[in-house]
Amino acid sequence: MKTNLVIRNATEVTVPWLSEVLGRPVASFRIANGHGNWSQQLALEVELGDDTWCAVRLKICAGNTFGRSEVDYYTRDYLGLIDAPLVRCFDAQYDPAVGYHLLLEDLTATHHDRKEVPPTLAYGIAVAQALGRMHRHHWESCAVPDAQAMNRYFDEIRPGVVPMEHATGQILRARFDQHEQAFRARWANPHGMSLLHGDLNPTNILTPKDAELPVYFLDRQPFDWSLTYGLAVADLAYFLVIWWSPQTRRECEGKILRHWYEAVGRPDYSWQQAQADWRLSVEQCLNVPFEWCSKTDTLTKMRWLWEFQLASVQAALADQSRLQSAGSSR
């Protein structure tokens, strides 16, 4: 039986513990410190009893900032999903008084994240198909977010509207208010909803160094105000609209959305509804730069990022307006 204890630091990693969680005799190991924005990362080179080596990564998140979501991500939520786009997890433990740890296969030698790799249509399709399978696995499986959850979400974002107006000279309040009303109305309907990842930025996606697939999704770490269940296509919008250049996104968007829709494969969820949900989810992407602007320190320090994100979302919204205008004039 595995020890149900959260590893808190490198000194608690032992040969008996590694042997237990890896399910193979361990002769020795070496640890190298890594880093993470919200965690401590330890890279372990493990010598097994048969004189072979394996590489694993220990992620330690102290405190209860993210709850048990990431532990459930690897140990519960996608059990039964064949070829789930998740890195192999050997052990995951959570204690609300301590935090949690994950022991994951280390793919550094063969894979990279997408931070420095320009996106391509093939990569976008691979992500869309993997996301679609994950969304289908939890399709309409929970109740819609309640009023309290919605209020927490918008209460976190709303304070960023006025500071962004001051910083950019743009008038944004009316658009934000209209979006909030439309968002609350649509999210009261469970149709098209699923469990969300919530943060598919380029550093949270791994691909082989010499190929665009298979993809692996990392770091599902929602804040207490995050919406963890909702319109499934919102995950795809965040992945595509926030982080891709407008030109590349414009060239690939339609095909990527269609591949996601076909991977979901729900006959009762029409293509027309998926497109409508996509338009609302693109608008929702404005909440990302708004949230950066809701705090004095990130308004200034992260301006380089939120201005890029704001411009990317506004370009996508402008494209939507042009398409709607062209359609109505036919």
pLDDT at 3: 63
Q: Is the pTM of this model over 0.85?
A: yes
Residues 6+ apart with CB under 8 A from 61: 38, 39, 40, 70, 99, 100, 101, 221
pLDDT at 1: 45
Given the structure tokens 């405190």, which residue do they identify? 63
> Tens-of-pLDDT digits for all 330 residues of the chain?
456 699 999 999 999 999 999 999 999 999 987 655 567 899 999 999 999 999 999 999 998 888 999 999 999 999 999 999 999 999 999 999 999 999 999 999 999 999 999 999 999 999 999 999 999 999 999 999 999 999 999 999 999 999 999 999 999 999 999 999 999 999 999 999 999 999 999 999 999 999 999 999 999 999 999 999 999 999 999 999 999 999 999 999 999 999 999 999 999 999 999 999 999 999 999 999 999 999 999 999 999 999 999 999 999 999 998 888 776 655
| Other CB atoms within 10 Å distance of the CB of residue 70 | 23
Bridge partner residues of 48 (DSSP): 26
Q: In DSSP terms, which residues pair with 26 in a beta bridge?
A: 48
Please tell me the CATH code under which domain 111-328 is placed.
Answer: 3.90.1200.10
Q: State both tokens at 279.
A: 């338009």
pLDDT of amino acid 39: 72
Per DSSP, the three-state class of 43 is strand
- Whether CATH 3.90.320 fits 10-105: no
Going from N- to C-terminal start, the domains of the chain cover: 10-105, 111-328
Q: What is the pLDDT of residue 35?
A: 59
Dihedral sign of CA atoms 64, 92, 202, 241 in order: negative
CA dist., res. 228 & res. 145, Å (int): 9
